[in-house]
Structure 1
Amino acid sequence: MGQIETSLHQSKKASEYSGSDSLDERVFAERIHILYGHTPVVLGGGVFVAFVTAAMLWATVSHSLLAQWVGLHLLLALIRGILAKVYFSTRRSGTGMRVRHWAWAYTVGAGISGVLWGSLAWLAMDTASLSDTMIVSLVLFGMIAACIGSHAPFVPSFIAYAYPAGGMLALRFLVEGGSLTLIGILGIVFLLPNTMYAVNLFRTIQESIARRFEREVLLADVQEKREESERANLDKSRFLAAVSHDLRQPLHALDLFHSSLKARLEHEDEQRLLGLASHSSQALGEMLGELMDIARFDTGKVTPEPRIVPLAPLLRDCTDEMRPLADEKGLDMRVRLPRKGCVDTDPVLLKRILRNLLSNAIRHTESGGVLVSTRMRDGWACIEVYDTGPGIAKEQLPYIFDEFYQIDNPERDREKGLGLGLAIVRRVSKMLGHRIAVRSRLGRGSCFSVAVPLCAVAEQCQPGDVEELFDAADVSGLFLVVVDDDRAILQGMRELLRSWGCEVLLAESGAELLAELTTHEYPRPDVLISDYRLRGGHTGLEVVSAVQAHFGVAVPAVIISGDVHPEVQKQVDQTGCCWLQKPVQDDELKRVLAELSQAAA
């Protein structure tokens, strides 16, 4: 009986609402919901068995008595059915839901049903008739056993049903006495194991519900933490994107001054100092570029544009671009180009992956060399970058693609970068759907690989799909117009462009430029250079449109900006202007100016 008392105590405790024990409240409410969920089966089955029982006793028991008994079952089933319907309606509305009252209301209905079934032993069972006694006994004991599963979510409802039904039958046998006394005692004993089973089933149900709710709470907490982490990451990325323009402005001006000074300094010591300053400026620009790339990838502002690309020219471009870095360290860079093969990828983003892998390999290799090779397997081109560096310990491999993670740079030496190169590789690879892998042995070197899907139709692949590098041409004698609201950048541009032999007209806004063009009879500029964002909410595209309207012809234009939003670059591309990202290297600017002027000529 101790288990029964414990179960009853737990049920009572669970049914009492407490503001500090919300989990127990939810578990109790769910148990009662399961209890009411069994109503259709309980009521339907009970009415069906009542009809069958009446039919079996019809020949020996008063017809009116059986009809009244079955009628009471129907009436009780109707009332309990209406009660269940009101319960479900109240639960859906979510207002005025006092679960404890609903639990005891169900228990009262179960108790009345138990009494109604138990009354059969006194009203319809003739102990002198073996058939009647067996029918009534089997029906009542069967109904008690059958109701365990449906009433186990709330044990008091089982007791309210089973004890009147079984107790009244056992009492009838005890009253009759004689040989039936033993059957009455066995009937009472029959109730005890069934009650124990109901209690055990109740505990199983309660624990299962509790674990489910705890799991839901845990998952909700994990989801909330993940969302907080994602929000923090997006906030970081938005911050980096927002300040990128302001950070790039002075850096762009600094690069312009360095480039203009380079042509004027004659002494070797001065050239060396300027080279060191330029190197530091370029390193800062590269770090800023990596931070901006992370921000663009995290905020979803980079959209891949996959197409069919021949693999060999793309690999050749990447290795030729990175070869000077290897030569500076005395490393041997080799590439094994595939004889044929085209891949389905975004060539710009794939080049970014390969540049980062090559740069990483060169940076961490002091002697030996770097090898780039390609293996074709199962519809994939696996591009592998080998190095003879120090290798990576096995326990460090899971972390090397994390942001700012560097194995051999505890002092945060800027010459070794920020630790973002491989983080960018992982982001871009995931964006493209390419697979990245790494294997390494300490003291022997490492191999990083990226698997790119091969193109099934090689005939669609044309060498011209890959961007070619252009050699900077002579730009002396060009008439260039520069518009920027930053005076330092204007001065740096003037000095740099004049050192190339160009004639330069400067303006801080479109209005100032138009006024100057209207006042003096300037010829059509060979190229117009403008910052994208200008004072007063104006843009460089508006300046380009106004200048072209002034001369009545198309004017080649370059838009330079520190914005990282792809929408801005898309707008520029749609106008036919050339887009350059700050800070701009002097050789890149010179190449673009030469191309635009030659195309216009």
Structure 2
Amino acid sequence: MTAWPWQLPPALAAPLAVQRIQLELLLEKTGPVRILSPIPFATPLAIVFHLKWASSLPLVWLGLFYAAVLLTYLRRRRLQARGPLQDHELSAVLRGRVRDIFLLGAMWGCAPWLLSAHRSVDGLLLISLFIIGAISLGSAIVSTHRQTIAAFSVPAAAGMVTACLWHGGLVGWVLAFCMALFLAMTLKWTFQQADLLAQSLTVRFEKEDLARRLAQQVELVEHANREKSRFLASASHDLRQPLHAISLFTSVLERARLDADSARTVARLGHSVRVLNQSLDTMLDISRLDAGAVQPRLEPLRVHDLFLALSHTFSGSAQARDLQIRFRAPGDLAVVSDAQLLTRLLGNLIDNAIKYTRCGGVLVAARSGAPAAREGWVCFEVIDTGIGIAAEHQQRVFDEFYQLANPQRDRAHGLGIGLSIVKRLSGLLEHPIALVSAPQRGTRCRVWVRRAAALDAPRAADTGRAPAEQPLPRHVLVIDDEPVGREALALLLSSCGCTVYPAGDLGQARQLLDRHPIEAVVSDFRLPGDGNGLEHLLALRRASPHLRTLLVTGETAPQRIADIKASGVPYLHKPVRAQQLMDALAGAAVAPPAM
């Protein structure tokens, strides 16, 4: 179809859109060839009647017919050259085309009056054949618009009907009736086609408008999600900076000789710092999962090893609440999953069970072939004797910040994000979950994980002691542009017997490296000037392979974390705990990173 200069704007309302397309189709179907096509039929018809009755009226009709065709053609060309139409002009232009088509229909309606002045039966029959053909062809051409169909067909047929009625007689009456019946049937069929087209166009544009608005809403949601992730990442980094310094200063105080009251105060301060850090980590996990920054690495895992790690993590908290916690699984059972993510998923379920169980205990089991298990799957179950969950709340407990029996938002019950993370990890790992619970009867959470072939037990050499860690380096260079963080880190390392050389930027760091026997470098990721701490540490490792390097960062952006991991440089997330820092420095890698 020819592309007209007024193509449909995407945001156009449905009625205007239908009018615009109807006008476009009407102009397309009434092109020059089709407008001029009646001339070869009208010309011989007029000549025949002129020669037979020696009347000038047929020539008058032919001249009027030519004029009507020429006028319609010129108006169409002018409309095409006019350029894009405004929305408010559509109705007027469409009415103008209806008038042009009406003029052509009226010319055919005048044919029986001007061609056959004597109203002979032969003449009327011949003219009726031409008019029937013109109505059939014309109504098909303009069938996209109801008013245009009627504007052409009705005057063309009306002239023939009135001429037959004027002639009278049986033939005249029958011919008039047949012409009227033909007109009625033609209008019915062509109107149905026009209505069907209008309805189809309306539905089409409504769907397009709905799809457009849906796309806009999706874009808004995605933009809001990106902004939320960016805000959480920025807020997390900005909050971790002072929290990192507080954590280090607290560690220094914990190592100092204090009286009993001061020691208790410092211990409470350290606990508060750890709780705040845990909250930041939890919100960060939600942000990273929503942003698609977490990608699972599936591998065969021994359930026994998984349960052993979970037992070490949660036995203490269960004992502190006088609860029993038991782990049960066949010794050779193995699954296919991501070790870290599956541990987090099950750990959140266990942690939630412990928090909401006042007496009794928690059972963590894994079984294959049980009624609850599916073929080829292992069913993990976390069963507690806690307060239970009513049926109307069992779906909402997986929403963020939704907690039962905690209207006062007691921090001991967490933030209400743990099960939300479970839901996201379940979808990410494709591990279906189910929850069965009743108030005061406990809760049973099930997680299905695909089964793997049994794995060999670890060799004796693999289960032996790890190589002894190296002692702490004696001379440590600390690079951090934050004075408080730099001072806190230097104070902690000094309390551990290290000689610390603090630097606020890379220039100072290079000078200190040249002047002192530096054995280890601890650097923040964000540094002033060009480059960052990671790039500087990589350059140092290439130039001095004997140096121990450690990156300390508050970054949470997925791409930056991926870059840090890929570099091979040991790193810690802020806020850093004292023992975590000591362990990292003692075991910091000194080999150059893999290229």
TM-score over 0.5 for the pair: yes
Q: Please give the per-residue CA displacement for 1:124-170, whole angstroms capped at 9, x wherever unaligned.
A: 8998778x977865774576467667645433312221122211221
Gaps of 5+ in 2: 1-11
Question: Does the 8 Å CA contact 1:531/1:560 hold for their aligned counterparts?
Answer: yes
Which residue is equivalent to 1:565? Answer: 557
CA distance in structure 1 between the aligned counterparts of 2:121 and 2:338, rounded to whole angstroms: 91
2:472 is equivalent to residue 481 of structure 1:
no
Whether 1:32 and 2:19 are equivalent positions in the alignment is no
Counterpart selection for 1:251 from 243, 247, 259: 243
Paired residue for 2:417?
420
Do residues 238 (structure 1) and 230 (structure 2) align? yes
The one-letter code matched in structure 1 to 2:387 is P
TM-score, normalised relative to structure 1: 0.74
Instruction: Verify the 8 A CA contact 1:382 1:450 in the aligned structure 2.
Output: yes
Counterpart position of 2:295 = 304
Change (3 A) 1:201 1:511: closer
CA contact (8 A) 2:143 2:149 kept: yes
Alignment equivalent of 1:224, drawn from 207, 216, 219:
216
| Aligned partners of 1:159 and 1:195 also within 8 Å | yes
Choose the corresponding residue for 2:160, options 169, 174, 185. 169
Give how far 1:188 is off: 4.2
Work out the percentage of aligned pairs sharing the same amino acid: 27
Q: TM-score, normalization: structure 2?
A: 0.75
Match of 2:252 among 260, 263, 267: 260
Give the AA of the match of 1:170.
V
Give the alignment partner of residue 267 of structure 2, picking from 275, 279, 289: 275
String of CA shifts for 1:396-420, please: whole Å, max 9, x gaps: 3443333333333332222222222
1:49-101 per-residue CA deviation (whole Å, 9 max, x = no partner) reads 969x99xx99xx99xx99x999999999999799879878978x778995346
1:530 aligns to 2:513 (yes or no): no
- What letter corresponds to residue 481 of structure 2 in structure 1? D
The question of whether the paired residues in 2 share the 8 Å contact of 1:47 and 1:74 is answered with: no
Q: Does structure 1 residue 154 correspond to structure 2 residue 151?
A: no
* Aligned partner letter, 1:328: A
Contact 2:390 2:437 in 1 (8 A): yes
* The one of 501, 508, 512 aligned to 1:506: 501
> Contact 2:39–2:66 at 8 Å: present in 1 too?
no
Provide closer, same or farther for how the CA distance between residues 445 and 34 of structure 1 changes in structure 2, counting only shifts above 3 A.
farther
Is the 1:361–1:370 contact (alpha carbons within 8 Å) kept by the matching residues of 2? no
2:247 aligned partner, one-letter code: D
Match of 2:537 among 531, 544, 558: 544
Q: CA deviation at 1:382?
A: 5.2
Q: 1:511 to 1:157 in 2, by over 3 A?
A: closer
Q: CA deviation at 1:325?
A: 2.9
Structure 1: gaps of 5 or more residues: 1-20
List aligned pairs for 1:307-326, cutoff 5 A.
Answer: 307-312=298-303, 313-314=305-306, 316-326=308-318
Distance (whole Å) between structure 2 residues aligned to residue 392 and residue 220 of structure 1: 41
**Equivalent in the alignment of 2:8:** none
* Range 68-77 or range 415-424, more displaced: 68-77
What SS does the aligned partner of 1:107 have?
Answer: helix
1:351 Cα shift?
3.5
Aligned length: 560
Distance in structure 2 (CA, Å) of the matches to 1:576 and 1:446: 43
**SS in structure 2 of the partner of residue 356 of structure 1:** helix
Note closer, same or farther for the CA distance 1:94–1:322 as it changes in structure 2 (3 Å cut).
farther
Report how far residue 336 of structure 1 moved: 2.4
> Which residue number in structure 2 is paired with residue 334 of structure 1?
327
Deviation of the 1:321 alpha carbon: 2.8
Seen in structure 2, the aligned counterparts of structure 1 residues 185 and 451 have a Cα distance that, compared at 3 Å, is same
> What is the CA distance between 1:34 and its match in structure 2?
4.1
Instruction: Indicate if the aligned counterparts of 1:50 and 1:73 stay in contact, CA closer than 8 A.
Output: no
In structure 2, C-alpha distance between the alignment counterparts of 1:258 and 1:264, rounded to whole Å: 10
Q: Structure 1 residues 42 and 197, CA, compared in 2 at 3 Å: closer, same or farther?
A: farther
Aligned partners of 2:105 and 2:154 also within 8 Å: yes
1:581 counterpart residue number: 573
- Which residue among 436, 459, 462 is the counterpart of 1:440? 436
Question: In structure 2, what is the Cα distance between the partners aligned to 1:411 and 1:149?
Answer: 75
Q: Secondary structure at the match of 1:558?
A: strand
